[in-house]
Copies of this chain bind each other. A is one copy, B any other.
Amino acid sequence: MPKAKISRPQIIQASLQTLASCQSLDQFSMRKVATALHIDASTIYWYFESKQAILQAMADEIAAQISFPDASLAWQTQLTQLFSTIFDVYTTHSHAAELMIATIPSSEVRLTLMNHIIGILVSAGFSEEQGSLALSTIDFFLTGLVMDLSKERQFRTAINNKQAAYLHDQVTQIHQITHDEHLIHMQNSVNNRNSQSAKQQFEAGLKLILKGLLAEKNVDLN
């Protein structure tokens, strides 16, 4: 074989597929991507300076799929719609949340997205401070929730895998302890978690934060 005609976008694409077939972000490796592309691992280093650079590119690729809502809508509606899209994008690509956390929002796509979200709030009359605070609050809440989801998925497939078996044990321990120690609120929390879909949970949390914002706004008007 003479040349493998590799390109940056091709590597990113293969990386996303490879990640999807991994059980967690730290199982993702350069060597696996290289194998998928039928090239040597060292070849990747001609296109990307490091593994971190690939992670950044993957995160950007995912972030690029997030579309902005109609700017003429009410700010609450805009935020609800936008974060609903982000939730869907994050849950479509497995480990997307881990990727976002492992990575710095230094690209135009991600910075523009963040800028847009703060912009919605500033246009609605909030201060820049309130806007960026609300953004990070919602974003971290969403990221944390989606990460927990993917951890749950991980131990549900705890059949042959040893690491997953350990996680599975930890979860049964949660039930054990909450029961033995009569941690009734935790028991309710687990039950509540199972009765509600993840998206419903996210929407409820988002609503809570939006209510807090609204309360701040009303105070300002006085």
Contact = CB atoms under 8 A, between A and B. Distances in A.
B185 A147 contact: no
B52 A166 contact: yes
Contacts of A122: 185
Interface of A: 26, 49-50, 52-53, 56, 101, 104-108, 111-112, 114-115, 118-119, 122, 128-137, 139-141, 143-145, 147, 151, 163, 166-167, 170-171, 173-174, 177-178, 181, 183-186, 188-189, 192-193, 201, 204-205, 208-216
Q: Chain A: interface secondary structure?
A: helix
A153 B22 CA distance: 30
A118 B216 contact: no
A181 B112 contact: yes
A56 B169 CA distance: 13
A208 B204 contact: no
Sort A-B residue pairs by CB-CB distance and give the 9 closest, nearest first.
A140-B144, A212-B212, A118-B185, A132-B189, A115-B183, A128-B188, A106-B170, A211-B212, A211-B215
Contacts of A132: 185, 188-189, 192-193
Contacts of A53: 166
